[in-house]
Amino acid sequence: MTSTAVLRPYRPEDREALFDICVRTAHEGGDSRALYPDLELLPNIFAAPYAVLEPDLAFVVEDEGRAVGYIVGTADTASFVSRFRTEWLPGVSTRYPAPVGPPTTPTEVMVDLMHRPERMLLPELSEYPAHLHIDLLPTHQREGHGRRLLQAFLGALHRKGVAAVHLGMVTSNTPARAFYDRVGFHEIPVPDPGPLTYLGRGTA
């Protein structure tokens, strides 16, 4: 494990690093810049809203003064979806207006997802009300940091009385699936999940 790396709560000054980590890990665990040239698009869907709306559930691994990994999420997906639509989406809609037709490019697909937060409300996930996103730069993977981030997040959920958490991962990301299997997640059957596999576990 990198000796200088520490786990701590997210701070607003981590925003730049949060965005950078998201972009550099968003394509099946690798760099997404070739697919999504707007470097704020994916972070504004999968990272920043959580850090802003539920900062008490955001943690980072810091090494040499900069965040190199993070975990963010929500204790209650239904509440988060509502807040995303009413509190977050208005602030980004000018930059990312809703598509007027079916999305045809990777960017349009993501903008469409941004404008449909209700996609996260699946009945099969109702027993797993919390959900999370976790990302580490490749330089700091396989050193135990992901497990430490997850433990901090699960502990925070448990203290809130939340019994279970889920996540959706790209099915083809086999290294990520191996990690989640090691830390106790199991597959949640969801009809027609598209490119995603849904996983869940208890917080205790």
Mean pLDDT in residue range 32-55? 97
Better-predicted residue by pLDDT, 142 or 57: 57
Q: Is 146 left (phi over 0), alpha (psi -120 to 50) or beta?
A: alpha
What is the residue-averaged pLDDT of the chain?
Answer: 96
- Would you list the domain boundaries of the chain? 6-146
Three state DSSP letters for 52-112: HHCHHHCEEEEECCEEEEEEEEECCHHHHHHHHHHHHHHHHCCCCCCCCCCCCCHHHHHHH
Question: Is pLDDT at 50 greater than 90 in this prediction?
Answer: yes
Tell me: the pLDDT tens digits for 143-171? 999 999 999 999 999 999 999 999 999 99
pLDDT of residue 3: 62
Query: CA–CA separation, 39 vs 125, rounded Å?
Result: 30
pLDDT of residue 65: 93
pLDDT band at 128 (very low <50, low <70, confident <90, very high): very high
Place of tokens 């330089």: 139
Tell me: the pLDDT tens digits for 20-37? 999 999 998 899 999 999
Superfamily of domain 6-146, CATH level 4: Gcn5-related N-acetyltransferase (GNAT) (3.40.630.30)
